[in-house]
Amino acid sequence: MFQQNSGVGHTVSGEAPRKAEDGGVRTRRSGLGLFFAVTFATTWTFWLTAIALGGSPTSSPTALPFLLGGFGPVFGAIAVRVRRGRRGEPVPARTVKLRQGVRLFWALPLLALSSASLVAGALLADFLGDATVSLTEGKELISSVGGIAPFLISMLIGGPLAEEPGWRGTAYPRLRASMSRLQAGLLLGGVWAVWHLPLFFIEGTVQAELGLFSWSGLMFSLSVFPVALLTGYAYERAGVAAAVAVHLGFNTTMAVLSVDSPVTQAFILAVQVGLAMTLLATRRDRRTTPPVPAAPHPHQVPADAPHPISLPH
């Protein structure tokens, strides 16, 4: 506690400490604005180009801008990394190093868990009467790209590798500088959902088939939130590699199951939300880096400091 020095006629103010603390948060969040700006600018420019060209995202000339648009988060991450290097800024405190050693083994069970959550939701919906899940379209998709190996490679590049270095590797640790795991995941999930919007207007995408103004489209957008929480959890466990694994598990399983019924999507969403909440509850949320200590106001002195002695004139 501080009190006013009796020899100075200024009031005590908390303005200086607040400014110092706010500056510390800005430092730890440095690069967020640049990341989101570059990510959305590059992705939406490419995807709007694909919309203007028309045609399938797998046919020329639409395929190239469609593919490049998916790498917007990587472009954003590169921009932040370059600026941080030029400014000599430190790595954000919540960043998980790429080299995780034995912790990387978390990627495999997390991948399996992400796939299992979708299967469980689909089976539950099927058991309760919504028998819309079929493996037929999934098998046709795998055959159309040349087999399981090309299918997995395309699924790995077209989503997880193109996005996770940005969303989780760059934005997430900066959000965690001042937010809980739940808050950071939900905020990033909202941004992530908006980022996907142009896909609803590109002919041949899953999103276009679902429809933006439909229950299936709504379920897709809502599903992004628990996926953001689970990939964030994976990132804190074992870094970007684990987040990539979880993202891959979701994408490949959804493609194989060919889920498009809003009822089945709702059951999957419920299972994912339950899984995310369970995992977050079982792992202690260490809040972010402490605020930067503020220097005492020049006109403040400790309460136990001796008062100046007034000498007779």
pLDDT of 126-184, one tens digit each? 888 877 777 888 889 899 889 999 999 999 998 999 999 999 999 999 999 989 999 99
Residue 153 belongs to some domain of the structure: yes
- What is the tens place of the pLDDT at every residue in 98-116? 666 667 788 899 999 999 9
Residue 7 belongs to some domain of the structure: no
Residue 2 belongs to some domain of the structure: no
SS (H, E, C) the chain: CEEECCCCCCCCCCHHHHHHHHHHHHHHCCCHHHHHHHHHHHHHHHHHHHHHHCCCCCCCCCHHHHHHHCCHHHHHHHHHHHHHHHHCCCCCCCCCCCCCHHHHHHHHHHHHHHHHHHHHHHHHHHHCCCCCCCCHHHHHHHHHCCCHHHHHHHHHHHHHHHHHHHHHHHHHHHHCCCCCHHHHHHHHHHHHHHHCHHHHHCCCCHHHHHCCCCHHHHHHHHHHHHHHHHHHHHHHHHHHHHHHHHHHHHHHHHHHHCCCCHHHHHHHHHHHHHHHHHHHHHCCCCCCCCCCCCCCCCCEEECCCCCCCCCCC
- How many domains in the chain? 1
pLDDT confidence of residue 283 = 76
Residue 301 belongs to some domain of the structure: no
pLDDT along the chain (313 residues), means of 10: 41 43 51 96 98 91 95 97 89 75 83 95 88 82 91 94 96 94 97 98 93 95 97 93 96 90 94 96 65 45 47 45
Residue 1 belongs to some domain of the structure: no
pLDDT confidence of residue 100 = 63
What's the domain range around 230?
12-289
pLDDT confidence of residue 88 = 85
Residue 296 belongs to some domain of the structure: no
pLDDT confidence of residue 309 = 44
pLDDT confidence of residue 134 = 78
Residue 299 belongs to some domain of the structure: no
